[in-house]
Amino acid sequence: MKVFVVGGAVGYINWIKNVELVSKPENAKIVFFTGGEDVDPSIYGCKKHPSTWSNIGRDLKEKEVFDAMTPNQLAIGVCRGSQFLCTMNGGLLVQDCRNHAVWGTHEITNGKDCYEITSTHHQMQYPYVLPKENYDILFWANGLSRGYYEGDKINPDIITEKGEPEIVLYHNEDKPKCLAIQGHPEMMRYGILHEMLNKLIEKYADA
């Protein structure tokens, strides 16, 4: 699987099977967006929360990479990368939430299966402003909700009702499919979580 890591921090992909690194995004089947600073709210048309720490220069460079991708490529993002992919598909971000910047792991679920994943973020994807046909929440946080969600233009009640997104698939016809993973699988010993994530990658990279 040919993979381009935006920014070059290849440690983020240590859990993906059968990786062949490439030096240009146009040569990749998968373009991978990594963790780091918050996404600047100007990218998604919102006011900055006091807790938001962003790097607009990075955002603009990564936006150039994303905008040049084709629909037959797969974008994957972890943590900040997942939030970035949410905004590139027209979503917003919760700019401050609680109980996710924790030591160790927490549980995610799809309503049937449960997995442990790391949690080190204070921001969160907010896809609920998008048409329902343009995204699927594949996994959500299980048992972490505390009702504290802050950010311009978001509705905390919707998150309480529908769940805290942990793994989201964005699929617009004119954009690449985007697998947005809120946690940090690269921080964990390889196990059943990674097997599940690799199956998702195989499924959507070939779709």
Full set of structural domains in the chain with CATH: 2-205 (3.40.50.880)
User: Element (H or E) spanning 179, and its range?
Assistant: strand 177-181
Structure tokens at 205: 């990279």
Q: Is residue 124 helix, strand or coil?
A: strand
In order along its 207 residues, the chain shows pLDDT tens digits of: 999 999 999 999 999 999 999 999 999 999 999 999 999 999 999 999 999 999 999 999 999 999 999 999 999 999 999 999 999 999 999 999 877 766 678 899 999 999 999 888 889 999 999 999 999 999 999 875 566 899 999 999 999 889 899 999 999 988 999 999 999 999 999 999 999 999 999 999 986
Beta-carbon contacts of 156 under 8 Å, excluding residues fewer than 6 positions away, are: 147, 148, 149, 150
Q: Tell me the whole-structure pTM to 2 decimals.
A: 0.95
What single letter denotes the amino acid at residue 29? K
Q: Is residue 170 helix, strand or coil?
A: strand
User: Element (H or E) spanning 132, and its range?
Assistant: none
